Amino acid sequence: MNTLQRTLIEKAGHDFGFEYIVSDEPSAVILGSARHPLHLDIALGADDSYQVTLVNPKAVLVAELQRDFAIAGNACVCGSIADLAQLFQRAAALAHSLPNQAEQDFDSAVAKELHKLPAGAKGTEVERIVRQRVGQDTYRKAMLEYWGGACAVTGVALPAVLRASHALPWAECNTDAQRLDVFNGLLLTANLDALFDRFLISFSAEGHIQLSPGLTEDNLAALGVTPDMQLRWVTAQHEVYLGQHRAKLEDIDA
């Protein structure tokens, strides 16, 4: 690996989520991040392709990456620096958002916020509000990263109109792990979020939209909702929560 090749790899890593060098050998470089434990070991193939090995990956992260990249075991090949950059970006986003990294980020952020409060505020309603605010912010960031900044249904990539919707509502979650689990909900445009939050739409285990019987054709047309809508992808981990959400689908008096 020559100096230019190494520099291109390191720059792509820095720009797309792997900002520091863990190890630097003549034939390979290992990149990591301060935000998560995942490392990527990059070597050059005989055809100048990039041979990437995931170091310390969670099984769920590998499964998610396989949706977009040809990963065998914990390894894949990127044909160009642009392909490598895409892998860096997606791997970093997943490493930041998948359980239990978001929970760890939440714990750290809450500790900093609580440290600013007077001693008498600990264990009070003030602390509960702080925890909820930090948690919702952490959850939204994780959902934006997991869904690539785009609506889980429409693909609209405009953060200002996207909402991080819980399938199992925040108040009904038993633990912070459930509240912050990116599989416990969907990133949706505001109109879909409002319907999902009120249990007027849900999604099947295969990702197809399900509509409340009380929603009229006029309602659906005005809201831009069609019966053929479906999730861009759905996993078994989503179904743990979606199954509970579907059970609450409401028949409203429209």
β-bridge mates for residue 165, sequence order? 186
**What is d(CA 101, CA 184) in angstroms, rounded to the nearest whole number?**
15
Where is pLDDT greater, at 251 or 136? 136
Amino acid 156: pLDDT: 97
Q: What is the pLDDT of residue 106?
A: 72
**pTM of the predicted protein model:** 0.85
Residue-wise pLDDT for 81-95, tens only, equals 999 999 999 999 999
CB 81 within 8 A of CB 15: no
pLDDT attached to residue 228: 96
Where is mean pLDDT largest: 24-28, 103-107, 142-146? 142-146
> What digits encode the pLDDT tens for the residues 119-134?
766 667 777 777 777 8
**Residue 87: its pLDDT value, please?**
97
Start and end residues for every CATH 3.90.1150 domain found in the chain = 3-97
Q: What are the pLDDT digits (tens) for 38-54?
A: 999 999 988 889 999 99
* pLDDT above 50: residue 254: no
- pLDDT tier at 226 (50, 70, 90 boundaries)? very high
What pLDDT is recorded for position 189? 97
Q: Where are the beta strands (DSSP E) in 56-175?
A: 75-78, 162-166
Which segment of 23-27, 39-43, 129-133, 239-243 scores lowest on mean pLDDT? 129-133
DSSP 170: G
Residue type, 55: V
In CATH, what class is 3-97? alpha beta
